[in-house]
Structure 1
Amino acid sequence: MKTLLLEYIFFQSSTYLVPLFFLCRCVIKHLEGLVVQYDLTVRDSDGSVVQFLYGEDGLDIPKTQFLQPRQFPFIEDNYEVIKRSQGLDEVLARLDPHTANKHFGAIQRWRAKREVACPRRGAFLLFSQKKLAKLKQTEEQRTEPQHVHSRRAAALQLVQQWHSLDESSRSKYSRKASRCPEPSLGLLRPDVCFGSVSENFHDITDKYLQDRGSVNHNSLDANSLRQLLHYKWQRSLCDPGEAVGLLAAQSIGEPSTQMTLNTFHFAGRGEMNVTLGIPRLREILMVASSNIKTPMMSVPVLNNRKALKRAKMLRKKLTRVCLAEVLQKVDVVETLRIENHEKLRTFKVTFHFLPPDRYCDDKLLSPDQILHYMETRFFRLLLEGIKKRSAKLASIAVETRKATLRDKDTVGDGTADTAGVDDGDGEEEREIVDDQGNEGDADASDAKRKDKQEEEVDYESEEDEEEEDGTDDGEDKDQGDEEEGAEENVEEPQPETAGVERKKKKRAKRGRGEGEETLNQMRVNSVLESNPAIERYHYDVQHELWCEVDLVLPVSKVHFDLTSLLSTLAHNAVIMETRGLTRCLLNEATTKTGEKETVLNTEGINMHEMFKHSDILDINRLYSNEVHAMANTYGIEVALKVIEKEIKDVFAVYGIEVDPRHLSLVADYMCFEGVYKPLNRHAIQSNSSPLQQMTFETSYKFLKQATMLGEEQTIFLIMPG
């Protein structure tokens, strides 16, 4: 038992590790050409810029440990040691921190005057907000409003006043509408301009210095400590020549081995299913498809009572409802009858629906809508399904019969007896074919009888095909019976029966003589006229909780289970839905500030439908895990952040943390061409390095292509330090 258990564990490990190893290999081969240059940019083998600053701050990840707030007291205590060992006074004397300090001061002054970080305002917009209301009041006092070229006179006067302003007056509005200055790292290179640090590091440094000044009264002044921390920042920049692409690939590949044996393809998050583990990593990195397994959206609901109330109705409206969810039971009664020397099968199908109080809390649906769907859509789907199932079973049917005592005879006798039984007992013999397409079990030892049965089946199937072809083309010259004559007049490809068409014509004649029909009778007649195979239909007029339909079909040589077909159709029949969405849930979430808010989560994606409900939902915070949908709606820059967040969330489930600088490099490489590019054999074709292409897969193909096109690759060697 121990041996079997170990073998099973090793087998499971290898099963999970094979796709993991291939994933790691693809990531490594794509990213191995990314190197930090002397200008701190990350470039590909041909010099294409993938990142203007590695990790968006230029820091080397192992050196960032001493830039955390918890290490600041240690740096402060060792100020004198650092000053003597590294000649800090001489170094700081050659550096100029005033440019960076001046830039940070401009940013702080801008933020102090404005509450919103990036207001969408302009100078003319501020001017119109101040002047337009007064101009409209003046215009309303007139008896007749004046319009020039479909524009109101007040708007024209506003434009004229704006153009008549002098430069000093315009500059007053321009200063109020000025945008926030660019971040320091976007304008000032951190390796050249001393004090050019990230905004996050600048904020935590100021916070530490403020807390330190209120608690401790040491001899080291705040300015000296700030310069020391900025000096540590500059010394922590990534060195030129660093193979950051390989480091990013290894940072994803190594921790992914820790979650292979503990992952499931789907894991519950509340009541929503999300793909996790290696399958999700493959979706993001290797496949990069727009058709992911579990697409979803999340939109916060506006924080007011009216919006929260309407969000519940919106959830019901957007949720897809299938027939099986409101169907209580289905009764099927099958009978055989002979009419005009023809064998007919009659199915009496009764659909019982759930009471409305059973589903009104979750679904925005009424019994009348259910019956309307049954009458206009489901019955047609049912008859089409019957026809397809019959055709499928007829193509794979094998004729069988009950075993008799004569089967124990010799091969020759058994063959002769079989023919006699087939001729005599035509009613007892039946073809039994199950839904799975399993053929009937014949006696394997009696080869001749089996061959004869197959020949008979083939002969009969050929006759059936000839009859069907003759019916469709209207060329039945040899057969003049009533059944074939009725089939010629039917245009809709539905199951047909003889005699039903004549009854339908008689009912139509009686209906014309009766005058106006009631609404209920009109509904019944519309169902009866939709297909000749429907003989009778009636429903619960009072409560609309059931409906019953009688189907008349010709007896065929194959038998199918109508109950299983109804079950399949009921689960696939959609009564109401919003395109792209299957289910919606309202969940409570906690924001970064600790406040609780209601979030609408959806299975499926339809952003344009969400935009229609901006009075209920906070559309500015809409999020989806489908990268292509976010890129097409908001742009490729948003796709970068979605890739980073999705990879981070995959590892976070297992308690694994990957540095965001690695994730940002992977996301930038996948999107730096302007599209969301996967890390697979197809995307390597756009790589600029022939050597990198040849070492991935199909070396001869890329070698021949590079030779024929005359491609070149220059190998640069950058010595760090």
Structure 2
Amino acid sequence: MQMSYLLGEEELEGKRPPMMPSSRTLPSSRPYEYSSRSRSFLDGNFLSDIRPQEYFFFHCIAGREGLIDAAVKTARIVINCDLTVRDSDGSVIQFQYDEDGLAVEKRTYLKKAHYPFLVANQPTILRQDEYSCIVDIRGSTKEKPIIKTFKNIRAWRKKTRELADDESFDDSTRLKIKTLRNSLKSKDINEARSIMVQTWRDSSDNKREQYNHDVIKFYSPVTQNYLPPSNLGAITERLDDLIRNYITAHGKLDQTKMDTRTFEKMMHFKSLQSCIDPGESIGILAAQSIGESSTQITLNTFHFAGRGEMNATLGVPRLRKLLIVASINVKTPTIQVLILRSSLALSKAKRLQRR
């Protein structure tokens, strides 16, 4: 259509070109001119001719917008030196990358399926000179408080599990607590919340005091008080559970001639190596994960430069909505207005179109 008929309406960033400080849209137009040609409607085509002012201003600006869309601006989301995920203006997106500070491409060997491989290659992975250097740099002064915190968390978990079987509760309350735990396992948060509120309302004052004493006082996660890249042994509770379960299932590693403490040191060392580095452009990684579809979106911007009905779904605005805004219901911001079949309505629509 653009080759043989006309280019049509050119749009910049989803709207008509705004007025310049000189009250003109083009240097060749008159001040405060609202004709269709001055408001970026190109009635020429590539086969015959396009006026120089229309091509070098309107169409080239729309094409440059497509070039900007090709260089997707997700590189501004990076890991800072304090290991927070921040935007270019310094706003915090996450206090820790992925809530644990571990890089996705480095955490492969932290999975349970790779533990036998790590145990078999322990002398190569955990070199004494390298480990001693890490301990000297990170410091071992905080290792004992971290171990103590993990012990307190495990004791608190055991205590809360035994609370549901306490004989001081009646049968109905124990049943509600059991249902609450099952709801949490099935991730039905609304049902679990309603059960918790109803159980609190039905409990007596003594039961509420016991609940406050035994349940409310819980420990903060280790990674909240100790950053994993700066403290050796600061791992997530999930990784600590995997380590404990593997040690329990393999008889404290007696069959591999490795003591429990050596295995823990090796896993802590691998967790430290898996931490993400400051300056990592995680925005680019997020953009690459979209794959071919985002590439096709970017390439289409060259074919539909300035097209209003296509411009709203392409390029940076679309990818920003997918990556940064993270809306649950992604919608295309286009509006279709139906016009009544009357002369008055058509005249008003044409007058509005000229604006």
Q: What is the TM-score with the length of structure 2 in the denominator?
A: 0.50
Q: Which has the higher contact order (CA 8 A, sep 6+)?
A: 2
Structure ranking higher in strand proportion = 1
Which of the pair has more CA radius of gyration? 1
